[in-house]
Amino acid sequence: MIVDDEADIREILSFNLSAAGYETVECETAEEALAQIRKGISPDLVLLDIMLPGMSGFKLADTLRKVDQCNVPIIFLTARSSENDLLTGFSAGGDDYICKPFSINEVIARVKAVLKRSSASGSQPSVIWLKGISIDLQSKNVTVDGAPVPFSRKEYDILLLLASNPGKIFSRTDFIRELWKDAPYVMDRTVDVHIARIRSKLGQYRDLIVNRAGFGYSMEVNE
């Protein structure tokens, strides 16, 4: 994810990173980036400008770390290079810091290095956001618009499977094979009942879980 208010910089970074084999998502503001992540976009890394209109890059990083409990690697891109700025960036949760003007080769090398470190450390987001739904992978708690909602173990497992794979269709057989491995006699109707309960608990977001007739269920965050 490239977050920078200068379109030329976003275009240059996106073009060269794509040429290097990476998929990119561009955001002009920190608010847009935060909204995308909370809607379910899960970037492997964020290239983040500091001087942004509205919310600063430092504030976005701090929000992702402390509020959303999101451990996505962050590389700051900025023209500010004082020692205090560097310390502020790392304190806000930055993993690296590249000063403008920069070379594309340097950016790609830093991206590769940070992703390698992240993969080696097993860094994974601890909270999944889908619009107003949050799923805490550590506490196993689910909130809807900030309010905690109780889920049974199987309801939580089904929701997590769907939320972790937005757009992927799971048949009833898929759910049974994945989540009822030790129960030899589970009917398709059992899955439908659990899905219905989950939908009722999601309130205004119930329609994010879509029934694809003849195929199964999927989580559609863009509908």
Q: What is the mean pLDDT of residues 121-139?
A: 75
pTM, two decimals, is 0.57
pLDDT > 70 in the chain, percent: 88
Q: What is the pLDDT of residues 27-73, one digit of tens each?
A: 999 999 999 988 878 899 999 999 899 999 989 998 888 777 788 89
Q: Given this model, what pLDDT does residue 223 score?
A: 46
Q: Domains in the chain, please, with CATH? A: 2-121 (3.40.50.2300), 127-219 (1.10.10.10)
Place of tokens 């451990």: 71
Query: What does the pLDDT look like over 169-179, one tens digit per residue?
Result: 999 999 988 88
Mean pLDDT of the chain: 86
pLDDT digits (tens, 9 = 90+) for 5-24: 999 999 999 999 999 999 99
> What's the number of CA atoms in the CB half-sphere (13 Å) around residue 131?
15
Tens of pLDDT, residue by residue over 181-216, are 766 677 888 899 999 999 999 999 999 999 988 899
Task: Name the H helices within the chain.
Answer: 7-19, 30-38, 57-66, 83-91, 104-121, 153-163, 172-179, 188-201
What are the φ and ψ backbone dihedral angles of 133, each rounded to 5 degrees? -100, 130
According to the model, what pLDDT value does residue 130 have? Answer: 82
Q: Which of 138, 141, 125, 145 minimizes the C-alpha distance to 206?
A: 145
Residues 129/33, Cβ–Cβ less than 8 Å: no
Q: b/e for 22-37, b at 16 or more Cβ within 10 A?
A: beeebbbbbeebbebb
